Amino acid sequence: MELNRLLLLTSFLLHLEEGPASPARLVCDTRLINKYIEDAKDMEKRVGQCQALPALGCPAVLPLVDFNAQQWRSRSNESKRREILCDLALLVGAVAGAQGQLHQECGARQLGQLYRQANTFLLLLQTFEWEAGPWEPGCPPRSVEQTHITSIFFVYRRLVQGKLRFFLHSLTKDSC
């Protein structure tokens, strides 16, 4: 399991463009998070173009990722990180469940890409050097059940565009 996490983190770092990469670079170089936001938009658009995607037989449990910006800013970075980790863990589980139900090539390809990106962020936030120590699962995120595959992509885009981007921005003040 640890080897898989190390390989995934290494893969993430090797696929970052524009020179040497590090987890701190994701925090300090806003172009990277913007790239991931564009990737999320692109995945959502491409899956929306798939012909007649079937509804999921077993609903996907997705995190509710909306937030109040003013309240978000007043929270500690560790609190934000834990909430994002909960959201990502729930999202990664939903994508894995949807992958097992979808056998259509078009949607399956995008689900695979989404799984890799969301899991990479999950592992990155778990392994980045934090003062409070490692993350442990067990938090109950707010959630909703959805049977539409496109909802998974919508939630991921909103998470990356919202909480994750604002979180990385708040880390910029202390790290860059």
Ordered per-residue pLDDT tens for the chain, 176 residues = 454 444 444 444 444 443 334 567 778 888 888 999 999 999 999 998 988 888 899 999 999 999 998 999 899 888 898 899 999 999 999 999 999 888 777 888 899 999 999 998 898 888 765 555 554 555 666 888 999 999 999 999 999 999 999 998 888 877 77
Residue 165 sits at φ, ψ, to 5 deg, of -65, -45
What is the predicted pLDDT for the residue at 175? 72
CATH architecture of structural domain 2-175: Up-down Bundle (1.20)
What is the predicted pLDDT for the residue at 1? 47
Of residues 147, 153, 144, the one with CA closest to residue 118:
153
Q: Please, which residues bridge with residue 60 across strands? A: 146
User: Which helix H or strand E contains 61, and what residues bound it?
Assistant: strand 60-63
Q: How far apart are CA 163 and CA 43, in angstroms?
A: 19
Residue 68 sits at φ, ψ, to 5 deg, of -90, 115
26, 125 Cβ separation under 8 angstroms: no
What is the predicted pLDDT for the residue at 13? 46
What is the predicted pLDDT for the residue at 93? 94
Exposed/middle/buried for residue 118 (C-beta within 10 Å: 0-12, 13-18, 19+)? buried
Structure-block tokens of residue 15: 């696929």
- Each domain of the chain, given as residue ranges in start order, spans 2-175
* Model-wide pTM > 0.75: yes
What is the predicted pLDDT for the residue at 16? 43
What is the predicted pLDDT for the residue at 64? 93
